[in-house]
Structure 1
Amino acid sequence: MTIQLDSPNLSLFPSSIWPSNADLASTQVQLGCIFHTDFYRRAWHIHIDDSLVEVALDIGEITANGQQEALCELEFELLSGDTEALLKLAIQVASIVPVRLGKASKAQRGYRLAGKAPPLHLTALEFLPLAEHNETLSPDLTASCQTLLEIALERWQLLESMIADEHEHEPEACIALWWRMRACIRLLRITLSQFALLDARLLSQFMLIEKQLDFIEPAQALTALLGSQYLLFHRQSQSRQLKQQLRFDLDNIKLDEQLSSLWQQPEYGQLQLAAVEQLLKVSAGELGSIKPPSLRQHADSALQASWQAIFEVMSCNTAMTSTHYLQASTVLDESILVGQAYGSLYDVKSRDMFRAPWLDLTLGIKTLACYSALEHASCKLGIDLHEWLDDKQQSLLFAMESTRHNALQQLVYW
């Protein structure tokens, strides 16, 4: 049967498939095209080791409501042999051209483009669902490592799609998605390291991609000042000029181009595939050289290590400036992630009391970043805000220092 128009001709179907009272003419009038997927496919059969894989390359576009979205997909199907051949071939491809894992089907993308699908949504990262068993160490550790990797990888892909959908919308909401996506990438790195699965090559890929995400902090400060934190400076007589400069600084970050730029990095897709490769190894029971007696002791060790890292950059013996806090933000963020990863294993009250002041400090650091952005903007405009900004920062630092000292004196919950 050939479809000549944008919808099928129902009269061409066998009459026996319709109910006796079916009104085909009325149904035909109601039919319409929601979206087009127009693409050219080339296919090859690839022998890899003792396996046979069909590789299909689809290039074209999806069209809906007068909008177009580029289509460039490489699909692998195992015809015979071992499923490991799919990953091996994908890694070989990723070593030559930039690729990334695809989560949405052509139909899902078409419905989204047509506005016929609910917007993508992902709840904030809570404490992850790890469970202890009173048995041997292997089931606990293997299952927990697998859970952590699966959640981080799945959320990474979904947040990536949400950023792609959000880039034309409110910048502050968009940068919040970037912040969350980077947290998933960091959680992957931290988990692989804790389970002795992070080699030098993989670490270098993580570092390169995370370096590409350094724009997040300045963009977060700028979007906050132009949005939810506008009250920080709105009473300044030069607030209008400051706002224009902040907008100019944000435009220079080219937030709407960051995702496509990241996708062009070969290491991006290589990192995703390497994470999948490690996940499959863990699923097969292959952990690193760690031998803790139990999941709980593994979690204790991970939390203690993250706490030690915090103590080294935020020691009670040193007064911290705004620069010190901004430099310590990554260590603090990673420690909070470790707490989220293993927090479900501990008493809720003591855990949350311990974490509360550290979470307050992360908010303080974001505000310090806003003051830093204002300082840079005022300098570019030749506006003297030094005294005002210094008063604001010192007031905030006084509160943060008190919080930090109290936080460092808490009893740990692990």
Structure 2
Amino acid sequence: MDTEIEIKFLVSRDITDALPELLQSYQILKHDRRHLANTYYDTPDLTLRRMDAGLRIRSQDGALEQTIKLAGSQVGGLHQRPEYNVALAAPDPDLALFPAHIWPAGVDAAALQQALQPLFCTDFVRRRWLLADDGTEIELALDEGEVQAGERREPIRELELELVRGDASRLFELADTLVRQGGLRLGAVSKAQRGYRLAGLSPMPRLRALAPADLRAEDGCEQAMVTLLHQGLRHWQYHEDGWMAAPGTDWLVQLREGVSLVHQILLMFGELVSHRINSGWIDDLLWLQQQLSWLDRAQMLAHLTADRGHYLRRLDCQKALLVELAEQQAQLPDEQQLRELFYGPRYGRLLLRLTHWLYRQDWRAGLAPQQSAQLAAPINGLARELLEDSWQTLRQSALGGPVLDGEQYIQQKGKLRRTLMVGLCFSGLYPEEERLAFRMPWLDILRGIEDLDMLSPLEDVRERLAAEDREELDDWLARKRRFLLEALEQSRAQALQLEPYWR
């Protein structure tokens, strides 16, 4: 058995000509070009897929080899999976050639063998460089071809770095050198996963709301931090892949939620591991959230213009407003600009460095005894402290004060989002009924603030309307704003009286 440790990238442009210069500091032990044809197998009910295993037969230079990759781990673009490789004499899978102990309890390998059938193929040319440097060997493979499932085709253009032997940090150093050139995006989806999707045997990504993490009161702070970071990173990359497959604002909103969660976790646990957290990450996370700050405006405009402006149907100036709102929508970043962001060096290096930090568990290095004890302590104590701090910060803000006007409410939107994010992080530690009774009124307040803010694009265009249209819009906005503020004030008064569930 081998344990594969590799970093996968998706490639947006031809980088072949740039590689010789980028690899000049390495000794090139081997450089070749091969055609690889792979057929993937599973049962009709996808037994292997449900085991998170993948079975393929590879044809290479007339030689046949069957490989099974078992469930492993994936963080960012780093993949670690146990795999078994066996030479074949004929192009048919033979599970009996694999060690018997690899199968989970209850799996009948002989029955599995009888049910196997080919599902899809991958066919690509692999350019391969075997690199050596100071005792570490890395295989760099550039694959170009396609995934095939019946009549369906999907292009493959990937770059993989696999650790053959030595220090995994050198793998990340090479990855960083390559990412700096741009045109690479860390890949969380394997060729096999793409094949299952193309064959219609695995669902395409669907939008997912950020859910509470699976935390237990007895979990240590370190374990909870890692669980939450993995959740945030998965949510982030899952919705990045979803946007790549079917671009849309909703994917980006959820991607930003994942980024915000990672940022929030680093801030919450920063005092325990602050000297091992690169402050540049915080800067880059803030930069990325700033790059996506236009999403709030995009959501507002989408709602205002949906169904031919149904929201504005009672206004005689509806058509004039829709023209102005369409101009605002045209100013938003387009698909090409976003692809350049996701394939850009700063974005790629941020994800790569976070992945490396999680892989190496760098926060453990150089910890003082007191910090080690704090990281080992049960999370419930720190959770109560963080929840109480965020709650007191909220109460001391304008949201805990006297009557607010519309602009004051809108100014508190970010603070309320952060407070609710802290609550979401530790939701699993508390009874659902009590937790929801406390959170739901504040979620309603956030939605009310968002509804209030949704009027902003209309206020921005009022000066470009005819006088009579402007007067009509002003009256309509005043009524909307008055109604929303009354509802917000009632909800806020009730929410401030609630007893926090963590006390």
TM-score tier by shorter-chain length is 0.7 to 0.9
Equivalent residue for 2:325, pick from 240, 246, 259? 246
Moved more, 158-167 or 302-311: 302-311
Change (3 A) 1:124 1:390: same
For the 8 Å contact 2:119–2:199, the answer to whether it is kept is: no
Of 254, 266, 269, 1:180 maps to 254
Match of 2:499 in 1: 411
Q: TM-score, normalised by structure 1?
A: 0.80
Gaps (5+ residues) in structure 2? Answer: 1-34, 38-61, 65-88, 94-116
What does 1:58-207 align with in structure 2 at a 5 Å threshold? Answer: 58-59=143-144, 71-97=156-182, 99-109=184-194, 112=197, 117-133=202-218, 140-167=220-247, 174-196=248-270, 197=273, 198-207=277-286
Give the Cα–Cα distance (whole angstroms) in 1 for the partners of residues 441 and 366 of structure 2.
35
Give the SS at the match of 2:249: helix
Instruction: Give TM-score, length-normalised by structure 2.
Output: 0.67
Distance 1:51 1:308, change over 3 A: farther
Q: What per-residue deviation string (whole Å, max 9, x for no partner) do you get for residues 324-371 of structure 1?
A: 222322221121111111011123222111111110012112211221
Does 1:279 find its partner at 2:358?
yes
Alpha-carbon distance in structure 2 between the residues aligned to 1:387 and 1:244: 20
Asked if the contact 2:197–2:203 (Cα under 8 Å) also holds between the matched residues in 1, the reply is yes
Q: Which string of whole-angstrom CA distances, capped at 9 and with x for unpartnered residues, describes residues 157-183 of structure 1?
A: 11111111222xxxxxx3222111111
Compared CA separation, residues 61 and 368, structure 1 to 2 (3 A): farther
Look up the match of 2:58: none
Check conservation: 1:52, 1:79, Cα contact below 8 A: yes
The partner residue of 1:43 within 128, 135, 146 is: 128
What is aligned with 2:406?
A: 322
Q: Is the 8 A contact 2:207 2:251 kept in 1?
A: no
In 2 relative to 1, CA 175–308 (structure 1 residues): closer, same or farther, beyond 3 Å?
Answer: farther
Question: Counterpart in 2 of 1:337?
Answer: 421
Structure 1 residue 140: Cα displacement: 1.4
Q: Which amino acid aligns with 1:212?
A: Q
Name which of 454, 477, 486 aligns with 1:398: 486
The structure where helix makes up a greater share of residues is 1
What does 1:241-320 correspond to in 2, within 5 Å?
241-282=320-361, 289=371, 291=374, 293-320=377-404
Secondary structure, in 3 states, of the residue corresponding to 2:240? helix
Asked whether the equivalents of residues 188 and 237 of structure 2 are also in contact (C-alpha less than 8 Å), the reply is yes
TM-aligned CA deviation for residue 264 of structure 1 = 3.9
Q: How many correspondences in the alignment? A: 383
Partner of 2:51: none
Residues 217-268 of structure 1, C-alpha deviations (whole Å, 9 max, x = no match): 0001111122379443111112233223323322321443353032143221
Sequence identity (%): 29
Q: Deviations over 1:17-65 (max 9, x none)?
A: 79xxxxxxxxxxxx99978755x54322333443211112235666889
- 8 Å Cα contact 1:146-1:282 kept in structure 2: no
Range with bigger deviation, 324-333 or 216-225: 324-333
Measure, in 2, the Cα distance between the counterparts of 1:15 and 1:362: 63
In 2, distance between residues paired with 1:111 and 1:84? 32
Query: Where does residue 22 of structure 1 map in the other structure?
Result: none
| Cα deviation 1:175-194 (Å, max 9, x = unaligned) | 22211111111111111222
Give the direction of change, closer, same or farther, for the CA distance of 1:36–1:311 in structure 2 (3 Å limit).
same
Structure 1: tracts of 5 or more residues without a match:
5-11, 19-30, 134-138, 168-173
